Amino acid sequence: MKGKIIVSAISVILVVGVVIGVVTGVHKFGTGSGSDDAETLSPQMKAISSICAPTENKELCIRTLSSVAPNGTSDPKELIKAAIVATLDEVQKNFHFTQTLVVNASSAPAPYKMSVEDCRDLIQFAVDQLEATLSVVGDSDIHTINDRVADLQTWLSSVVAYQETCFDGLDDPALKSNVQGNMLDATRLTSNALTIVAGISNILSPFDLKLNIPNGNSRRLLAADGYPTWFSAADRKLLAKVDNRGIRPNAVVAKDGSGNFRSIQAALNAYPKNHRGRYIIYVKAGVYDEYITVTKDQTNVFLYGDGPRRTIITGHKSKVLSGYSTWQSSTFSAIGNGFLCKGVAFQNTAGYRGEQAVALRVQSDFSAFFNCRIDGYQDTLYVQTNRQFYRNCVISGTIDFIFGDSACVIQNSLIVVRKGGPNQFNTVTAQGRKEKDENTGIVIHNCRIVPEQKLFPERFRVESYLGRPWKQYAMTVVMESTIGDFIRPEGYTTWGVDDTCSYFEYANSGPGARFSGRVKWRNVRLISRNEAMRFTVGWFLQGGAWLRYTGFPYMLGLRY
């Protein structure tokens, strides 16, 4: 009862804040031409105009909220919900459009057909995320406003990423133009919804409401007893163990037949319908040459092996040699939320000739990897969407080998830059943030960035960079890490969006950490300790709420 009273009080404050904001600032965004317009607007239109004021597509925002919002309401919660509903409706139309494309492409060449099938599947993921977003907006039991913002921004950011991945996979120019044109309103509405959600704190701040941001302990993720909602009582005890002793798996995979299954995919296929709690798969030592997907319905899977040098999952799909899209080239794909992995290696052996060839693709929210290896060349680790954590891992590659649009922290890990093909350069990261209000980025914290042994003798002849901006608002942070001498003094190389991307560094060491030679782009800079705190596990991933129940080690803040 007390929680409901608090929520009601916040709603009243929000309404008052919106009305005050409109009365004082309605003319700033052009809702009328005369001095009496603010007085003639209805309370609902005042609220809608205020909510839409910071969006990039104001007219579309006002028009859609006016048609979707409950008649006469000026409740910000209902208007935010209406923004999500409008976006969902439009993205669902896009899904039906892509289904039609798939039907029409049944006799088309394989690459064309594959690209529209990928697009359809990606838009379905976008629909799923919007439905999850809508359910949270309508949840009257949300404990804090910050919980709402963190989750909603994450999921809406993933919708942006799925839309962009769809477009990126369309190599046929006419097809790409057609799809982008049909999805224009959907992408604009997604952008608007993201901006609206990101602006909630700005509405509340004048009223001195605390948002629980600094320690990142997002309490909405926890049940009443303080544990994450997806963990059973047995899970809490199980995953408190850092080692594997005493774990009783649901499935044992062994190449020699000594387990329940001979393949990892077979063990996943046995995932029980409507399963609750963790589904634990132990993979015995061996090389598993198979392509594996943890589907969206297979949530809370815990996969562990006998160590990354003994339990190895390998594949060789690539764009150039095999004809697969980047998205579909992955040896292992983790989609279902809550995926955990320990003591396993993921490989893509296509080599530098295969170009885009993913070893591990992750879109699982609240996913974590400990003591794993991820090895490839170009596009090794695709941190596609949602919140991801990597600890004590080895990640190797050449061009853009850590890329994607998730909120990702790689901590206490070894990042190995390999020797590629003739005339190839190396870029450790290629982050894909498309909208400025996304809460995504790649954070490399307390890691070592080194050349592999084959590259070492040629390390000054091969150009190696910390990253390049894949999308307009690319965000990458390297902090408290050791950077080898082979990293070029410029640090970063261009991909055409230099003015809007952000590359931050804090308290790094090693010869490659000298900042004086860095490129002179607007948002390439050293940051303060207070700024660096925003990119720690506790704040950036809300890690205090969920990582302690994985059994994996982690550091919520900075080293010093």
In three-state secondary structure terms, 408 is strand
**Cα–Cα distance, 223 to 231 (Å, whole number):** 9
**Cα–Cα distance, 362 to 337 (Å, whole number):** 10
**Cα–Cα distance, 534 to 307 (Å, whole number):** 33
Residues involved in catalysis: 379, 400
Q: Do the Cβ atoms of 298 and 336 come closer than 8 Å?
A: yes
Q: What residues pair up with 383 in beta bridges, in sequence order?
A: 362
**Cα–Cα distance, 13 to 16 (Å, whole number):** 5
Q: What residues pair up with 332 in beta bridges, in sequence order?
A: 292, 360
Would you tell me the crossing angle of helices 173-182 and 110-137 to the nearest 10 degrees?
20
* DSSP labels, 355-373: -S--SEEE--TTEEEES-E
3-state secondary structure 101-141: HHHHCCCCCHHHHHHHHHHHHHHHHHHHHHHHHHHHHCCCC
In three-state secondary structure terms, 187 is helix
Q: How many CB atoms lie within 10 A of CB 10?
A: 18
Q: Starting at the edge strand that comes first in sequence, how are the strands of the sheet with 482-483 ordered?
A: 286-289, 311-315, 345-348, 373-375, 394-397, 414-417, 448-451, 482-483
**Cα–Cα distance, 364 to 294 (Å, whole number):** 9
Q: 386, 434, 501: which is closest to 152 by C-alpha? A: 386
Tokens of 391: 């600890």
**DSSP secondary-structure letter at 293?**
E
**DSSP secondary-structure letter at 73?**
-
Q: How would you label 225-261 residue by residue, b for 16+ Cβ within 10 Å and e otherwise?
A: eebbebbeeebeebbeeeeeeebebbbebbeeeebbb
In three-state secondary structure terms, 277 is coil
